[in-house]
Structure formats: C-alpha cells, structure tokens
C-alpha cells in the first residue's frame, strides 16, 4: 500500500528532527565533558571567525592571557588573518607553545609585507629562544631594508645566544652588513648589535666591539653599548680600550667603561 505524499513528508521531517535533536544532544554531551579551560578556549576560538577586527583581537588577547598551550595553538590560525593588527596580536598569543612549535609558526611572518609585523615576529622569536629561529633571524638581520626590523632581529639573536650570530652582528658594527655604512647605520641598530654580542658572551665578537668602542666617530651611545658588552664578555684583551674609554670626557661612556673594567677584574 502506498502512503500519501504528505504522510511521507511528515515522516521525513520527523526523522530529520530526530537527527537534529540527537546531534544537539551529542554536542551538549561533548560540551559537558570539556574542562572549564577547554570551554573558554572553544568560546574564544569561535570568536576568531568574527567579522569584527576588534572582536578577533579581543579573543586573541584572552587566549594569550590563559598561558595554556592549547590556547596558544588555537591562536595560530590568526597568524594568517587579513588584518595586520590581528596578526600581530596573534604573534603575542603564542607564548605558551613549545619553543620549536612557536618558532615554526612565527618564522613565515618574517617575510610579511609590513614592517611592524616583521618586527614583532622577530621580537617574539627571540622570546622563544629556539635555535630553529637563528638562521631566519640572521637572514632578516642581513637583508631587511628597515633598520627597526634589523634591530629587532639583532636583539632576538642576543636572547637566543647562538654563536652562529656573532659574525653577522659584528658585521653590523663594522659596516659590512649591507656593503656600505649609512650615517648612524643606524645608531639603534648598532647599539642592538653590540648588546646582542654581549648577551652571546662569545670572544669572537670582542674585536668588533673594541673597534666600535675605540672609534670616536661613533655615537657615544653606541660606544657605551660596546663597553657594556665587553664587560659582559669579560675578555682581558679589551682592557686597553676600556681604560682609554674610562678617561673619556663623556661621563656616561666613562662610567660604562669603568663598570666593564670592574667586571673584568
């Protein structure tokens, strides 16, 4: 016996309704099994698809504030967001990831079109202290056109403390990094390179630092950074240059050199 069409339709609709009810119940059961932190992560991850830039940023800030690896993993997708400010916010939400995972996620942003995105990615890579970030940061240090980005790469390399960065950083001080040395080259970049060499503590960087300290054409702040770095490294070969700088008429350079000499002793 054939059933009327409207009866079949009611049966189909009823069946679909039952399926939806079962799906909703299953979803509720899964939600009930989530821990409070997992539930919060799920909520914020859902907000990352919002059309509102501010809502996506807020979600990322909350994910970062959780300091939980799963929350940081949820933020990774936002590194590809179309809005630069969202990408940068995502960069700072990855702090709870294992160092190697964070470096793998952040390295592609060193090629971002925008200066401040590349700069923030470099800063974040330094915080990971991952050796996987060393070569990408060296590449950024030696090829990027923006001094602020190169300075960020230098400081990041100093935090990672890998000796592979010593020669590129020394080249910044000697003016060999880009073929010619611009007027300040730039002062902040040189100071960053000197500071990084001090943090790496490699004697291979002493010659470049001594030359930087001894060159009176360099800005006082650059020479002071070189003196401080020499004190950190603690190589006795720097003593003559430091003694000379200790007699400088500039009180800040003199103070830095004297402090470095005390550290050597």
Mean pLDDT, rounded, for 164-191: 79
Nearest alpha-carbon partner for 93 in 118, 50, 57, 122: 57
Q: What is 29-51 written as a DSSP string? A: HHHHHS-HHHHHHHHHHHHTT-S
139, with CB counted inside 10 A (0-12, 13-18, 19+), is middle
Q: E strand or H helix at 83, and its extent?
A: none
For residue 33, what pLDDT band results from cuts at 50, 70 and 90?
confident
What pLDDT score was predicted for residue 12? 42
Nearest alpha-carbon partner for 138 in 128, 227, 127, 125: 125
Cα Dmax for the chain:
111
How far apart (Å, rounded) are the C-alpha atoms in residues 170 and 177? 9
Mean pLDDT, rounded, for 1-29: 48
Q: Do 163 and 204 contact (CB within 8 A), yes or no? A: yes
What pLDDT score was predicted for residue 16? 47
pLDDT tens figures, 58-87: 999 999 999 999 999 999 999 999 999 999
Calculate the alpha carbon distances from 238 to 157, 205, 241 in Å.
Answer: 23, 11, 6
Least confident of 15-19, 149-153, 187-191: 15-19
Number of Cα atoms under 13 Å in the Cβ half of residue 244: 12
Mean pLDDT, rounded, for 111-139: 97
Domains and CATH numbers, the chain: 40-97 (1.25.10.10), 98-160 (1.25.10.10), 163-265 (1.25.10.10)
Share of the chain above pLDDT 70, in %: 84
Tokens standing for residue 85: 């400010």
How far apart (Å, rounded) are the C-alpha atoms in residues 78 and 172? 34
219: left (phi over 0), alpha (psi -120 to 50) or beta: beta
Mean pLDDT, rounded, for 55-59: 98
pLDDT tens figures, 80-114: 999 999 999 999 999 999 999 999 999 999 999 99
What pLDDT score was predicted for residue 34? 84
Share of the chain above pLDDT 90, in %: 81
What pLDDT score was predicted for residue 206? 98
What pLDDT score was predicted for residue 13? 46
Residue 30 above 50 pLDDT?
Answer: no
Residue 144 above 80 pLDDT?
Answer: yes
Mean pLDDT, rounded, for 160-188: 80
Single pTM value for the model? 0.83
Q: What is the residue-averaged pLDDT of the chain?
A: 89
193, with CB counted inside 10 A (0-12, 13-18, 19+), is buried
What pLDDT score was predicted for residue 25? 46
The position carrying tokens 């952040």 is 106
Residue 130 above 60 pLDDT?
Answer: yes
What pLDDT score was predicted for residue 1? 52
Residue 26 above 80 pLDDT?
Answer: no
pLDDT tens figures, 229-258: 999 999 999 999 999 999 999 999 999 999
Residue 15 above 60 pLDDT?
Answer: no
For residue 44, what pLDDT band results from cuts at 50, 70 and 90?
very high
What pLDDT score was predicted for residue 246? 96
189: left (phi over 0), alpha (psi -120 to 50) or beta: alpha
């Amino acid at each position: 016996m054939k059933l009327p069409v409207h009866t079949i339709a009611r049966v189909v609709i009823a069946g679909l309704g039952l399926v939806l009810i079962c799906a909703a119940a299953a979803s509720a059961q899964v939600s009930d099994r989530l821990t409070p932190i997992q539930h919060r992560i799920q909520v914020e991850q859902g907000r990352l698809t919002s059309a509102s830039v501010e809502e996506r940023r807020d979600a990322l800030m909350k994910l970062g504030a959780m300091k939980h690896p799963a929350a940081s993993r949820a933020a990774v997708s936002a590194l590809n967001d179309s809005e630069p400010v969202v990408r940068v916010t995502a960069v700072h939400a990855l702090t709870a990831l294992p160092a190697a995972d964070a470096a793998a996620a952040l390295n592609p942003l060193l090629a971002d079109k925008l200066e401040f995105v590349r700069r923030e990615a470099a800063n974040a890579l330094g915080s990971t202290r991952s050796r996987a970030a060393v070569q990408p940061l060296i590449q950024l240090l030696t090829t990027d056109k923006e001094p602020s980005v190169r300075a960020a790469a230098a400081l990041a390399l100093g935090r990672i403390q890998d000796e592979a960065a010593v020669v590129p950083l020394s080249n910044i001080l000697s003016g060999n990094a880009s073929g010619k040395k611009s007027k300040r080259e730039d002062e902040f970049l040189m100071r960053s390179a000197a500071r990084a060499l001090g943090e790496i503590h490699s004697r291979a960087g002493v010659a470049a630092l001594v030359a930087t300290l001894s060159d009176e054409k360099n800005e006082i702040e650059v020479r002071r950074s070189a003196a401080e770095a020499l004190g950190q490294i603690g190589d006795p070969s720097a003593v003559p240059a430091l003694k000379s700088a200790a007699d400088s008429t500039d009180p800040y350079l003199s103070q830095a050199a004297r402090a470095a000499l005390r550290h050597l002793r």
